Each structure stands twice: as structure tokens, then as C-alpha cells.
Amino acid sequence: VFSKIFSHEALESYLPKIQLVIKDTLRAWSSTAEPINVYHEAQKLTFRMAIRVLLGFRIPDEELGRLFEVYQQFVENVFSLPVDLPFSGYRRGIRARETLQKGLEKAIQEKLQNTQGKDYADALDILIESGKEHGKELTMQELKDGTLELIFAAYATTASASTSLIMQLLKHPRVLEKLREELRSKGILHNGCICEGSLRLDNISGLQYLDCVIKEVLRLFTPISGGYRTVLQTFELDGFQIPKGWSVMYSIRDTHDTAPVFKDVDVFDPDRFGQGRSEDKEGRFHYLPFGGGVRTCLGKHLAKLFLKALAIELASTSRFELATRTFPRITLVPVVHPVDGLKVKFFGLDSNQNEILTGTDAMLGATV
């Protein structure tokens, strides 16, 4: 059922909505006079994308902001010790989940009652219809659980990768310019504007250098460290016997760091995935940002599409610069992210890529 949510047809229908959410977000980032904390704002962006695009909820912005704060409290306590005591992280997480599910139930009921004005089938529509096809009417609790799972899957890892993407574009302006060159050569970017109707799924899939950039971000800054599996059959690894029934953890990050196919593993080099080198093609499990095997991440194509759409907007319609003297330190838990956020100043641009001055800057510009 969930695989239908991330099919090619579904992604095609999500794309215009994803673009709209990203455009609105970048416009908001550019309109503020102060630098933004990219990681925090990226969390808001991916939460909004999940609510507006994946689930098709028409929640007012003010209510959406409150729901985001509750969701943050839920996420912060997901990995707390399961000790149900007053003021414990576990109790805070449970309360946040209850509040969250009340809000989701209200949104689901409104969605089920108001089906007019829909121009695409979102993930929740597909989930409901697939249940009916299998002869099962999903209960409200199942719908709330499925909804919460979709938000959770789309949230932390995508926010982490989005932040890493922006940080690497800041660190490597040549990469950003090469992205712009590819967009121009493919007829997507013209005179500082994205050509109308040019961003379709097949067009984005044909942007080879963009694909290399996203792959390299996910190689060097894999959002999560690894995954768990259960041993189905006793086997040996480097002389050690791993018994059937044991739980094992595989490390994505260590695999990327030690895989012999990657040259200069600490260097951000998108060209390693280009046609001339194709370092990821030399082994089956050397590159696995979304896991591997039959339990690979179902949402990987949506995640990559979102990151590509964000990169295109950043390269086409934005100018941004680091607002601190140095880049922040990176922490790996629970997902890769800057310790103190990533402070960046975004500038609004007109159609000719000229900076639009606002607030005090505008007055100073007028005076000059």
C-alpha cells in the first residue's frame, strides 16, 4: 500500500505542490532582515511539505505553526527512556502524541468531508483507496497512525539533508555555478527565471550533475547512521559466527567512509558520481544512504525529488551567504545536523537576479 504513495505517477502529481511550498518558504527566508537558522527552518519546511503535499491537509498557517511545535516535542522525546513518571521525557512525548493525534483526527475528518477542489491524489487518498481495494475500511486510529508515520518518515532525515545541501552549496560556489550552467543548458533557467512548465519529473531526472550533487550530499552527510536487521540464517563474517535470530546493526556512515571504491572520502566531490568515474557503480552495497535490499527506504525517490527541487530553486532564484565567520560544528545524533544551527542570510532577487533591498537596507540603498 505504501509503495503506491511513492510511485512515479504519485511523484509527478506531488511535484508542483512541492515546488510551491519551497518557493513560498524561500520567499519568506528572503523577506526577513535577520539571518535564519537553516536547520530549524528546514524542519518547518519538511513538516509543511508533509502536511500540505503528502497529506493534503488545509490547516491554517497559525494552527500549522502550533501543530509543528507539538510535533517537535513529540520527536524530541521519541528516544526517551520508557519510564512513565511526571515530568519525564516519556510522559512529555506521550502527551505530545495525544495532542498531535487530536489535531490530525480533526484534519482527517475535515478532509473526508471536503473532497471538492482536489486536483491530485495525495498519500492519504491513496492509503484510503488502497485499503478499500483490499476489502478493508481503515479505522480512524489506523488513519492517524499512518498519517503520523508518513510525517515522521518525511521529517527529520529530509530536514537534515536539506541543511547539508545548503551548507555544501555555500562551501563550494563552483558547484552552485555548475548547477546553474546545467539548468541553463537544459532550458530550465533563462534570464534568472525558471521557465514555465520546464520542471517536470522527466526533466529533473535528466539533470545528471544535479543528481551527482544530491548523491554526494547523501554520501558525505548521510542523515542516519545505520539500520537494524534480524539474522534469518547463521552466517560467518571475517571469521566470526553470527547466529540466527540475533539482531545486527549495519553502519551506513562507516560503509561510506571505508568503501574502497570512493577516492578521497572526506572531499565533497559530486563528479565522483559522473559518467567518467561512477564510483558508486563498482559494488552493490558500497553506497546505501537509504539502506539496501528488500527493506530499502520506500520514500527515497520522494526525498531525492524534494532535495532536487530545493537545489533548483536555490540555484535559480536565490542568493544566500553564511552569516557567521565560520561554519558550524556537525553532530551526528539523532540525525546529522549543525550543533548551533546554520546561520544564513537570504536575499530576495528580482527577475534579473538583482538583489531586492528591504527594510533598513532599502533605506540605506535609497540614501546612497
Cβ(125)–Cβ(55) below 8 Å: no
C-alpha cell at 197: 512548465
Does 334 sit behind a cis peptide bond, omega within 30 degrees of 0 on the bond before it?
A: yes
Q: How far apart are the first and last CA of the chain?
A: 61
- Whether residue 340 is contained in a domain is answered as yes
- Whether residue 166 is contained in a domain is answered as yes
Q: CA angle, 273 as apex, 249 and 275 as ends, to 5°? A: 140
Predicted pLDDT at 357: 46
Predicted pLDDT at 359: 40
Across the chain, which distance is largest between two alpha carbons, in Å?
76
How far from chain centre, in Å, is Cα 77?
A: 21
Euclidean distance between CA atoms 103 and 67, whole angstroms: 7
- Whether residue 310 is contained in a domain is answered as yes
- Whether residue 287 is contained in a domain is answered as no
- Whether residue 324 is contained in a domain is answered as yes
C-alpha cell at 258: 571505508
Predicted pLDDT at 365: 31
Q: Which domain holds residue 185?
A: 4-56+120-221+294-348
Predicted pLDDT at 355: 57
| Residue 260: DSSP 8-state | T
Q: What residues form the annotated binding site for heme?
A: 297
Euclidean distance between CA atoms 66 and 47, whole angstroms: 12
Q: What residues form the annotated binding site?
A: 297
Q: What is the CATH number of the domain that holds 127?
A: 1.10.630.10
- Whether residue 274 is contained in a domain is answered as no
- Whether residue 300 is contained in a domain is answered as yes
pLDDT per position in the chain (368 positions), as tens? 778 899 999 999 999 999 999 999 999 999 999 999 999 999 999 999 999 999 999 999 999 999 999 999 999 998 899 999 999 999 999 999 999 999 999 999 999 888 777 788 899 999 888 888 888 888 999 999 999 999 998 899 999 999 999 999 999 999 999 999 999 999 999 887 888 888 899 999 999 999 999 999 999 999 999 988 999 999 999 999 999 999 999 999 999 999 999 999 999 999 999 988 999 887 788 999 999 888 889 899 999 999 999 999 999 988 999 999 999 999 998 899 999 899 999 997 654 555 554 443 433 333 22
C-alpha cell at 14: 506531488
Predicted pLDDT at 195: 86
- Whether residue 283 is contained in a domain is answered as no
Entry pTM: 0.92
